[in-house]
Amino acid sequence: LRVLGRIPWWLAVFAVALLARLGFLWASGEPLLYLHQYTYFNGGLRIAGHPAPLAYVLYSDEWRYWNGRWTIAPLYHLLAGAVFRLLGPHLLGLRLLQCVMDSIAAVGVAYLGRQAAGPRGAWAGLAYAVYFPAVEMTTWTMTENPHTPLLVSAVALLAHEAVRPRRATALAAGVLAGLSALARSVSTGFLALATLWRFWRRGPAGR
């Protein structure tokens, strides 16, 4: 990243990712596609439009039904509902927030790259910053939008904790990983792997 001069690597990665996502959002005007995007969108609208949204979330599962048959991970519905409640029932505010969150994920990827390959590893974050499926995803109402930055941030914190062990860092990583599992339950598999990894590390601090 030397070509970017004295700009900190993390700021450069974040800026490139955010500009790519905002540029696509402005240029594409892409509508929601397919049933699953409307399912999440409508779940957020139900929460935002309910006269007692907190009670509705706590005492009903209607807002997170999938195909009317089963419930799914709740975090994205809650995020969308909160944004719609604060900013109104339209997509722009949610999409802008998702652009920022995924730009944070790009910084996490860059940090992991640096941990694996030194300063040159930050180019991994730049690659993610312009990776088209990730850029496009931020305009969709999909659970990947909170899940990816939460999970990547959790892994990045675990990598940082491996170099500079601190209980607070490990705790923060666990909280973020848990939140990511509330967005997409596939993260629960990662929790088991992270626990085994910490257990197998040598020394009392690792255990």
Helices 167-183 & 144-163 angle (0-180, nearest 10): 160
Q: Is the distance from CB of 177 to CB of 151 less than 8 angstroms?
A: yes
Q: Is the pLDDT of residue 63 over 60?
A: yes
Q: Average the pLDDT over 1-10 and give the result.
A: 73
Amino acid at 131: Y
Q: Which residue has the tokens 């505010």?
A: 93
Whole-number Å distance between alpha carbons of 147 and 130: 19
If residue 155 lies in a helix (H) or strand (E), which one and from where to where?
helix 144-163
pLDDT digits (tens, 9 = 90+) for 147-198: 999 999 999 998 898 888 899 998 999 899 999 999 998 888 877 777 777 6
Q: Average the pLDDT over 102-112 and give the result.
A: 97
* Confidence tier at 131 by pLDDT (50, 70, 90): very high
pLDDT at residue number 33: 87
Lowest mean pLDDT, pick from 37-41, 64-68, 89-93: 64-68
* Confidence tier at 207 by pLDDT (50, 70, 90): very low
pLDDT digits (tens, 9 = 90+) for 68-101: 888 999 999 999 999 999 999 999 999 999 999 9
